[in-house]
């Protein structure tokens, strides 16, 4: 697929780097681009003269698609398409993003979220498409009046059905998170923009653990987390056990992207539950980007994360291998108000990862010390084994009629251990 990129800005110079990355992520080859600085034209977005220039560029390059890094209305898409060579498709930024999401969706949850976003995108366009079909006298195009009402009802019904299924999935995931916590795991989520290096950092922090080794405790552990230089490598979530003394599960979440409309953010909000319900959030940013761009992304991330998140947030300045020490120091200072105590690392080179692990341990809820005296019964060793799996056991002392276990663990694990110990003390007839 070959494309020409188009971007209009109200003022300043149009930057097409992100839309080029998005196009490549969707499988397009970018042949050329056309930019413009002007106020939006209601009919064609870029004005008749620029549309004519665009049509010439498309013919010269042989592109089969035109991608606008702007949001286009259905009338604008129609009017632009009328001037393009035959069979050339005109799409906007959000159609492209939905295309990428559709390609990346592998889990049932991700597929449902993509379908929900597509339906929300289509709903307000139904009336406009019908008006266009009437004007062009194509009765079969999206139907006419009565069919349009039917289609609108159908879309709303599908949206309702998908939201119900996503709510059911969210309930199951919440139960799984609680099971992890009850098993003694702390939950750490990696958040940030696409291409910040979250998946690469996950590979540095996580141990190479096969799924079947821990199937009973956490069946959804994933040993693979792709790290590629492309956007939206991670559409769903990937969870792996951290290579740390403390029992930590790391989850790499879907990346943020700039200038997303409300309906699209809402469609993928359930993906952020992994962030909202975590014990600690690592907010990963690409320190090689311009400082103003980093600042803007940090503000957006904070606005989103602080909406429902109560866990501490640690900013991770990633890709330090790509900047000098002087540039890193300058950016640290410039970002100090938003990231007062960041950890600078290189996920690619593994630089300063040990310091990040130490920071994770410091920021997580502290473990509590406990000392249990267990009666020597037939079930005692199963409790001791459970403590080894769910707590940090410091010492176990055996004598003729009792077992002394000294350990540290999360408060909820200590509470469960006391309950198990109490059950051992109960008479056999109870």
**Separation of alpha carbons 63 and 33, rounded Å:** 11
CB contact set of 53 (below 8 Å; sequence gap of 6+) = 34
Annotated binding site for Mg(2+): 199, 234
Strand order, beta sheet including 368-375: 368-375, 402-409, 392-398
Annotated binding site for GTP: 192-199, 252-255, 318-321, 346-348
Please calculate the CA angle 393-398-404 and round it to the nearest 5 degrees.
50
User: Tokens 């620029």, residue?
Assistant: 50
**Separation of alpha carbons 312 and 282, rounded Å:** 9
The phi and psi torsions of 264 (rounded to 5 degrees) equal -75, -40
Annotated binding site: 192-199, 234, 252-255, 318-321, 346-348
**Cα-based torsion angle of the residue sequence 308, 311, 315, 316 in order, rounded to the nearest 10 degrees:** -120
Residue among 221, 255, 259 at smallest CA distance from 238: 221
**Separation of alpha carbons 412 and 247, rounded Å:** 14
User: For residue 165, what is the enclosing H or E element?
Assistant: helix 145-182
CB contact set of 76 (below 8 Å; sequence gap of 6+) = 42, 43, 44, 45
**Separation of alpha carbons 377 and 168, rounded Å:** 41
């Amino acid at each position: 697929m070959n494309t020409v990129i188009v971007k209009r800005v109200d003022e300043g110079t149009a930057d097409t780097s992100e839309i080029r990355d998005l196009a490549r992520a969707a499988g397009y080859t970018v042949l050329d681009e056309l930019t413009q600085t002007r106020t939006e034209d209601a009919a064609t977005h870029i004005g008749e003269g620029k549309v004519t220039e665009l049509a010439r560029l498309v013919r010269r390059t042989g592109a089969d698609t035109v991608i606008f890094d702007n949001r286009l209305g259905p009338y604008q898409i129609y009017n632009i398409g009328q001037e393009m060579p035959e069979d050339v498709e005109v799409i906007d930024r959000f159609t492209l993003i939905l295309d990428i999401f559709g390609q990346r969706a592998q889990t049932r949850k991700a597929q449902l979220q993509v379908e929900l976003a597509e339906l929300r995108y289509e709903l307000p366009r139904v009336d406009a498409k019908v008006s266009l079909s009437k004007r062009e006298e194509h009765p079969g195009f999206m139907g006419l009046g009565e069919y349009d009402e039917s289609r609108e009802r159908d879309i709303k019904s599908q949206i309702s059905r998908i939201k119900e299924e996503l709510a059911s999935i969210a309930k199951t995931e919440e139960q799984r998170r609680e099971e992890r916590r009850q098993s003694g795991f702390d939950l750490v989520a990696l958040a940030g923009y696409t291409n910040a290096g979250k998946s690469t950092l996950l590979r540095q922090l996580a141990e190479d653990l096969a799924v079947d080794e821990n199937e009973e405790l956490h069946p959804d552990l994933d040993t693979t987390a792709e790290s590629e230089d492309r956007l939206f490598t991670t559409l769903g979530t990937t969870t792996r056990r951290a290579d740390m003394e403390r029992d930590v599960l790391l989850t790499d979440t879907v990346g943020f992207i700039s200038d997303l409309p409300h309906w699209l953010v809402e469609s993928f909000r359930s993906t952020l539950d992994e962030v909202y319900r975590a014990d600690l959030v690592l907010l990963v940013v690409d320190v090689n980007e311009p400082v103003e761009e980093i600042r803007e992304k940090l503000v957006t991330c904070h606005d989103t994360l602080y909406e429902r998140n109560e866990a501490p947030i640690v900013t991770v300045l990633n890709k330090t291998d790509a900047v000098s020490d002087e540039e890193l120091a300058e950016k640290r200072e410039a970002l100090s108000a938003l990231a007062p105590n960041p950890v600078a690392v290189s996920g690619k080179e593994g630089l300063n990862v040990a310091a990040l692990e130490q920071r994770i341990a410091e920021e997580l809820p502290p473990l509590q010390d406990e000392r249990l005296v267990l009666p020597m019964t037939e079930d005692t060793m199963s409790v001791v084994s459970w403590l080894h799996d769910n707590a940090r056991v410091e010492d176990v002392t055996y004598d003729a009629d009792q077992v002394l276990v000294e350990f540290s663990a999360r408060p909820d694990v200590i509470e469960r251990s006391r309950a198990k110990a109490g059950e051992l003390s109960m008479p056999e007839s109870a």
